[in-house]
Amino acid sequence: MSKQALPVVDPDRVACCAPIAARPMDAEQAAAVAPMFKALGDPVRLRLMSMIASVPEMCVCDLTPAFDLSGPTISHHLKVLREAGLVDSERRGTWVWYQARPDALRQLGALLDLPGPSAPVSP
């Protein structure tokens, strides 16, 4: 399912990743990264993301019945996750399968790292 006309966030292209707490983030990087956080800022999408990231891939047909929401609504949320660059989708026969983009998750995680004394693992 390749799409090219949408304002999609491409995680490979987001300026990478000094932690938020390391130095003030510039406007450009903030604008690039914020949509990813925004996509995770809805409880339904957060659960969808979690369900998808917990397994190698996940069928929409297993995602939809886990919520008390209509099919179109789930589809809409999946689209938001896709356009944020957090998941990929692929149609195989009748069903559409979603998978997480680990790089995107890793990048967001890196942004939240603290330069803290929490893990002084320097040998």
Partner DNA sequence: ACCTTGTTTTGAAAGCTGTCAACCTAGAGG
Partner DNA sequence: CCTCTAGGTTGACAGCTTTCAAAACAAGGT
What string marks each residue from 70 to 89 as x (binds its own copies by CB under 8 A) or -? --------------------
In the complex, what is the shortest distance from the CB of residue 59 to DNA, in angstroms, rounded to a whole number? 5
Which 3-state string (H, E, C) describes the chain?
CCCCCCCCCCHHHCCCCCCCCCCCCCHHHHHHHHHHHHHHCCHHHHHHHHHHHCCCCEEHHHHHHHCCCCHHHHHHHHHHHHHCCCEEEEEECCEEEEEECHHHHHHHHHHCCCCCCCCCCCC
When CB distances are held under 5 to 8 angstroms depending on the partner's kind, the choice from its own copies, DNA, none that residue 113 binds is: its own copies
| Residue 44 touching DNA (CB under 7 A) | yes
Residues near DNA (CB under 7 A) = 1, 38, 41-42, 44, 59-61, 64, 68-80, 89, 91, 93-96
Residues near its own copies (CB under 8 A) = 20-27, 30-31, 33-35, 37-47, 49-51, 53-54, 66, 100, 102, 105-106, 108-109, 112-114, 116-118
